[in-house]
Amino acid sequence: MQINWPKVRAYALGAWRSWTIWAAGVMAVLPDVIPLLQSEFATLAPFIPEWMHSRALQVASLVMVLLRVKTTASLAAKGKQK
């Protein structure tokens, strides 16, 4: 099996430029980061809503990535733009 490296590079660049992928990445790590923030910065704890503690953000981020893959402009096309 031959790997098409230019296509892989185009997809990687497209993902790097995609706001959806970035937002999904932030949402995926929030449930793990929030408890650290609360323990280190007790003054922040009252301002972080309870719903942000759940794994729902990680599920939503996965759905967001899947929706990004289904959009009309492919990541490869987005990666080739300058």
Q: What is the pLDDT of residue 67?
A: 76
What is the rounded distance in angstroms from the CA atom of residue 49 to the CA atom of residue 52? 6
Q: What is the pLDDT of residue 2?
A: 92
Assessment of whether the complete model's pTM goes beyond 0.85: no
The DSSP H or E segment spanning 61 is helix 56-70
At residue 49's C-alpha, the angle toward residues 48 and 54, to 5°, is 105
pLDDT along the chain (82 residues), means of 10: 87 83 82 78 72 70 77 70 60
Boundaries of every domain in the chain = 22-80
Q: What is the pLDDT of residue 53?
A: 65
CA 36 to chain CA centroid, nearest Å: 20
